[in-house]
Structures are given as C-alpha cells and as structure tokens.
Amino acid sequence: MTDDVSPTKATGNTLQSTSDASQKISGAAGRRDAAALRRIAMWAGGANIGRRLAFVLMVVGVSAAIATFLTLAGKSNFGMGKSALDVLVAIDLLLVLALGAFVVQALVRMWGERRSGLAAARLHVRLVGLFSVVAIVPAILAVVLAALFFNVTIQNWFSDRVRQAVEGSVRISEAYLSEHEQTFRSDAIAMSEELNRIWPRVATDSRRTQRSLEILAERHSVHGALLLDPFKRTLTEAGFTSSLSFDLPPAWALVDSSSGQPVVLVAEDRDRIRALIGLDVQPKVFLYVGRFIDPNVLELRDATQRAARDYELVESELTALQIELAAIFVIVTLLLLMTAVGLAFVFANRLTRPIASLVHASEMVRSGNLGVRLPEARLSDDEIGMLTRSFNRMTRQLDEQRGELTEANRQLEDRRRFTEAVLGGVSAGVVGLDSAGRVSLPNRSATALLGLRLDELMGCELGVCVPELSELIGRAIEMPERQVEGEVDVKTSADVKTLHVRIAAEYDTQGAVIGFVVTFDDVTELQSAQRKAAWADVARRIAHEIKNPLTPIQLSAERLKRKYLAEIDSDPEVFAQCTETIVRQVGDIGRMVDEFSAFARMPNPIMQPASLTKIAREAIFLQDQVRNDIKFETAFSDGPVMVSCDAGLVSQALTNLLQNAVDAIVGRSDNRTETGWVRLGISESGGDVKITVEDNGRG
C-alpha cells in the first residue's frame, strides 16, 4: 500500500523542505511496507491450506480419542470388538504422527519469528505456552484418571471374590439342571409304579390306557409320554409326543431300563430331557416320557458358562492386557496432547495475527506511511475487530489531516512569500511580533533601518534587540486595544536615525491577541525638511515684515536728496553722503531680505521617470498596516503609470493627504458605526494624470 499524499513542490523554506524530505522517506517506506504486506499475504494464502488441514486433523484426533475411550468402556467382554479397537489404535497412532509433524513445524516457525524479531512474536510465544499449559494439564489429568479407573476396574474384576462368584454361578447352574434331572427321574418312577398298579384293569382297553396315560402325564407335568414295546413300536401316546416319536431311545437304553430303573436321556442342545423305564408287566412294555427345559434357564446357564470361560481366558492374559491398555492410553494421551498443543497454536495465531498486523501497520505509520489500511472484510465484532476499525479510522483521519495540513502549509508558504515580496518592496520597516513581543516576520527595510542582520532579528524580543522601542512595545502589550504611536531615536553603527513608530495589535477570529505589527519610517530627513520648512515660513514672514518698510525708507531718502540737497547750504556733501548711505544700506538690506526669502522657497524638484502606482501603493500600504480599523482601497490598474516627477515630494504629498483623511475619519462626531474607508485613485485622461483621495470622514 502506498502513500496517498503527493509530494508538494519545493519552496526554499525550512518547513517545506522538511515536508518534501519526509514525503520522500515515507514514499520509500511505503513501497517497502507494501512489499512486506504482499509477502505476508502470499504466505497467508499458502498457510490457509495447512491451517485447515491441521484443524481437520485436530477434530479427527479428538473424535478418535473419544471413540477409543467409548470402545474400551463399552465392551462387555474383552474378546469382543478387538479388531475395531486395533483399527482405532492404528488411526490414533497415525494422527499422533501427523499432529506431531504440524506441532514441530509450528514450533520451528515460531522460534524463527522470535529470533527475527517479527511483530507480536513474543506475545505469540507467551500465548502458545499459556494455551498449551491450560489445554495439556486437563488432558493429562483426564487420561491419568481414566487409566487409574481402568486399572482399578480390572483389579476388581480379577479379585478372589469375583473369581469365587463366577465359579459359584457355574456350579449353581449345573446344580439346578442336576436337580431338574432328579425330579424328572422321580416323576418317571412314580408314573411307572402307578401304571404297574392299574395295568391289569386297562391293558385290554386301549382307550382307558391312553386316558390313564394322559392323566398321569398331566399330573406329573410331563410334556409327552409313550408306551413302547421291546421293538420301539408305539402302543399308546399322550401329550406332545412328536419330539419323542422322532427321537426314540437307543437299544442300550431298552436293555438298561428293563429292570425297572429309569434311564435319563438329555438332548444335545439340552433343551429337553427324556426318561425310559420298563414296566413290570407281561408282555414287556416300556414307558418313554419327555419334558422341555425352560429356555431362559438354559440361556442363563450358557451365559454363565461363557462368562466363566472368558474370565479364565482374560485372567490368563491379564499382564498382556494391562500392557496393551497402557499402550493405548499412552497413544491416546499423546493424541490429546498433540491436539491440545495444536489448538493452542490455532488460538494463539488467531489472537496474535490481527495484533501483529496492527503492530506492523503502526510501524508503517511511524515511518510516515499514513495510507496504510488493515482489511476489515473478515473481522469479527470483538475488541480486536473494534481496535482494527478504530486504527483504520485514525489513519484515515491522519491521512486526510496531513493532506489538509500540507495544503494549508503550501497556502501559508505562498502567502508568506507574497507578503515577503510585498514587504520587500516597501521602503517602510515592517516587523511582525508574536503575543510575547518576539520577532516573527521582518522585512529587509526593517533590518536596514535598525542596523541589524536578519538572523539577529529573527526570534529575538524586539524590545531587547532595540532598547529604544521597549517602552512603546510595553505599552502596546499592556493596552492592545489602542494603537501606540511615537518617535524614537535609534542609534545604529553608522548614525542616529529618527523613526516614526506605529504598533497595532493583531487578533484571531475569537478576538484574542495573537501578535503585533510594528511599522516605522525613517523621518530623519523629514524632520530636517520640516525644520527647514518652519524656518522658511518664519523667514518668509520676517522678510515680508522687513521688506515692507524698506521701500518707503528708500523712497523717502531719495526724495530728501532730490528736494532738500539744493536748499542745504552748509555741508551739502555730508547730507548727500548720508542720503546715499541710507539708500545703499536699504538696498543691501533688500538684497539680504531677497536672499532670506529665497531660503523660504520650496526646494527645487529632481524630475525623474517614476511609477505613480508604485508610489501610491507604498503610501497606502503604510497607512493600512498602521490602521487596521480603516479600510484602504485603491482604484487604479496593476500596470505602472509612468510620469516625470520628484518621487520623494509626491510620496510626501500623498502621505499628508492620506493622514488628513485618516484624521477626518477618526475625528467623526456623528457616532456613525460604519467602517471608515479611504480610497486612493489614479486616472489618465489624454496626457494628464489625476490623483484623487476620498474618504467618509467629517468635512
């Protein structure tokens, strides 16, 4: 990202040169920062895939660990689900290796960032350490507790009491079936005895035989009964005999039961029991009865036997099982640890990435690049997002304000150069002071009139550099609302100059005093001219008063000589000599009076080509600097109006006319509130030039 503020042109002053230099530096820094941001963006684009893959691995790792625990906790028999557990352990081991590679890569990258001093690297290390500890400790505690729980559970499973309970349950199930067989044997013997007793009465009647057999089968809870001959042919049946008909007793059972002792036969699946007993009748008859065993009893008996066999198998492999469980817990622990550290890296990166961007952007701002902006598209509404948006608003405002400040400085510089150019062409001395009386803007005429160099005058207190002005400056500071005016004699290295000084206050838009404007003219020659003019006026008056009686005296002396010279008899030569002396002395006095009158005349002008507009501007500029409360206007073109004149006398005349106009405005007694104005105009008509001075003062 580059700087939006374009460099301003060189102006030759310190402020602008500094601005140009800083602009060049900020431009170079902006290019370097833009390249750094592009490199970071390219790295982020490539790192997104790695981060997503790592996040997927962590989610799968947590899921695999949970599945492994559930598989261990959910098995009712250690022989069940062995293949599924092996697959889960293999998956856990692969995930441990993958996450371990990710964690090692992240650690190497974090260490490299720390050594290279990248932004927020130390904070990144601290956050990773903190999150790792916070995540690892609960994971280790959970796994240790789970391992202890499994070990305690296994020890409880294989205790002596559990072993005795398992063996007892097997014996109980076998005893129950044995008792059931004995009961069935007794029922078979009882049925055979009753059939022996009633056989003589029912042997000849098959219906009565069947009915009696059904009654006996129902009485002794026999599900089926058959009467067989020695050749296994069915004589009579009662109850559910289908299973008995298809499963006839073997020949050896007929032989063993012929003596009257029952032979008990149990089915292969032990779901039914049969008994065969020979009756004490002739011809020989066998009683063949059967009874179904309750399926729930059989299922419980089978489950008990299976549990006992599994228990014995696991007990024989207990050491190997504990080693296997320990290995599984170690793998799951490593998986959880790698996942926890990976999550610590993910959360630390998520927190430090915007902070690092802010630090880097702050460094760019510090180097002068105010055009830097942070992306806001994917920011959340948390405090970091608010901080990023505030940073962008701040840099945007700083950028705009710097542009405005640069433009304002440029305008001020242009105005300063214009003011210096204007003041440089003014013969009067003009000095700008701040509110404390220190010099901020002198013109060349001021340095020449005060006999000081520009570097001596800039920044010093004018009352200290020129002690003769201290009294007037003090009065102006004490009473800024009044214009201070006076004449002072300033001693320079060459001579002593009489300066006519005017001091006026300068106000800001709120009416506070921000400085003073001091204007002064060298009135040394003017005072000399004024003294000469005064003496000339006195001489003219004296000459006039003296010359008035000289003519009558001369005429009277000449008349006395003409009229009375012939009438004087005694010593006429003396009379003539006296009258001639009177006439001669009167003539001498007349010549002396003429010479005295010549001294009272205006000096002879020195005619040279000069610009009336320039003379007029200088005259009105001086008054404008002194009287800020009066509006001075000019009514002539910018081009020069060249005439042959004495520039000094014309300037003197214009100054007197303008001063008369100012005095007329100040002396108004009609309490008018309108602003006073003075207009100086120059117009050409044919070959003549007309100068007019107008004002809205009294008169």
Write the pLDDT tens digit of every residue in 236-284: 877 766 656 667 788 887 777 777 788 877 766 666 777 888 887 888 8
61: nearest Cα among 347, 326, 332, 350: 332
149: enclosing H helix or E strand: helix 121-157
Crossing angle, helix 82-116 and helix 318-366, to 10 degrees? 30
Beta-strand pair 439-442/608-611: unpaired
CA atoms within 13 A on the CB side of 277: 24
Better-scored residue on pLDDT, 126 or 202: 202
For the chain, the domains span 14-131+322-384, 166-310, 425-522, 528-600, 608-695
CA-CA distances (angstroms) from residue 569 to 42, 166, 376, 653? Answer: 142, 200, 136, 64
Query: What pLDDT is attached to residue 246?
Result: 60
What pLDDT score does 692 carry? 92
Q: Which helix (H) or strand (E) holds 693?
A: strand 688-695
**Residue from 55, 121, 638 nearest 339 by CA:** 55
Specify the pLDDT at position 120.
55
Distance between CA 379 and CA 356 in Å, rounded?
Answer: 14
Which of 99, 104, 29, 111 is CA-nearest to residue 62?
99
Question: Cα separations (Å) of 162 from 78, 173, 318?
Answer: 16, 17, 15
Residue 80 — very low, low, confident or very high, per pLDDT cuts 50/70/90?
very low
**Who's near 629: CB < 8 A, 6+ residues apart?**
675, 676
Q: How far apart are CA 15 and CA 548, in angstroms?
A: 73
Of 490, 498, 485, give the one whose Cα is nearest residue 467. 490
The CATH superfamily holding the domain 608-695 is Histidine kinase-like ATPase, C-terminal domain (3.30.565.10)
Among the ranges given (88-102, 236-250, 553-567, 641-655), the one the predictor scored with the smallest mean pLDDT: 236-250
Residue 566 scores a pLDDT above 80 = no
Mean residue pLDDT across the chain: 74
162, two tokens: 């559990």
What pLDDT is stored for residue 271 in this prediction?
A: 66
3-class secondary structure, 369: coil
Q: Tell me, what's the pLDDT at 598?
A: 64
The Cα-based distances of 484 to 113, 429, 477, 504, 630 in angstroms read 69, 16, 10, 7, 16
Which residue's entry shows tokens 């374009």?
6
Q: What's the pLDDT score for residue 156?
A: 64
Residue type, 42: M
How many CB atoms are located within 10 Å of the residue 201 CB?
A: 11
CATH superfamily of 425-522: PAS domain (3.30.450.20)
Instruction: Confirm if 349 and 123 have CB atoms less than 8 A apart.
Output: no
Confidence at 86, pLDDT banded by 50, 70, 90:
confident
pLDDT at 30 over 70: no
Q: What is the rounded average pLDDT of the residues 664-679?
A: 77
**What's the token pair of residue 543?**
């000459």
For residue 689, give the amino acid letter: V
Strands of 398-531, DSSP E:
429-434, 439-442, 484-491, 496-507, 513-522
**β-bridge pairing 630-635 and 676-685:** parallel
| Residues making up the chain, counted from first to last | 699
Residue-wise burial string across 639-675, b where 16 or more C-beta atoms lie within 10 A, e elsewhere:
eebebebbbbebbeebbebbeebbebbeeeeeeeeee
Question: 501 vs 532, which has greater pLDDT?
Answer: 501
Average pLDDT over residues 174-192: 75
As a whole number, mean pLDDT of residues 372-397 equals 75
Check pLDDT > 60 for residue 502.
yes
CATH class of 166-310: alpha beta
Can you tell me the distance from the alpha carbon of 239 to that of 220, in angstroms, rounded to the nearest whole number?
12
Q: Which pTM was predicted?
A: 0.36
d(CA 351, CA 316): 54
Residue pair 223/245 in contact by the 8 Å Cβ criterion: no
Q: Tell me the two tokens of residue 191.
A: 């049925």
Query: Do residues 19 and 355 lie in contact, with contact meaning Cβ atoms separated by under 8 Å?
Result: no
Output DSSP code: residue 639: S
pLDDT of residue 198: 82
Residues 337, 140 contacting (CB under 8 angstroms): yes
Question: Which of these, 198, 192, 193, lies nearest to 212 by C-alpha position?
Answer: 198
Which structure tokens are listed for 199? 């056989």
Quote the pLDDT of residue 596: 67
Provide the terminal-to-terminal Cα distance of the chain, rounded to the nearest Å.
70
**Which residues lie below 8 Å from residue 342, measured CB to CB, with a gap of 6+?**
54, 57, 58, 99, 102, 103, 106
φ, ψ (nearest 5 deg) of residue 290: -145, 150
Identify the three-state secondary structure at position 522.
strand
Distance CA 195, CA 203 (A): 10
Task: Quickly count helices (H) and strands (E) in the chain.
Answer: 18, 15
Complete edge-to-edge strand list for the sheet that includes strand 688-695: 630-635, 676-685, 688-695
User: Do the two domains 166-310 and 425-522 of this chain adopt the same fold?
Assistant: yes
Asked if 492 and 499 count as a contact pair (C-beta separation under 8 A), the reply is no
- 681 pLDDT band, cuts 50/70/90, is very high
pLDDT of residue 457: 80
Please state the φ and ψ torsions of residue 245, each to the nearest 5 degrees: -65, -35
Which uninterrupted H or E stretch holds 184?
Answer: helix 160-202
Q: What angle do CA 226, 228, 229 make, to 5 degrees?
A: 170
* Residue 337 identity: L
Q: CA separation (Å) from 257 to 8, 200, 221, 241, 267?
A: 130, 21, 21, 20, 18
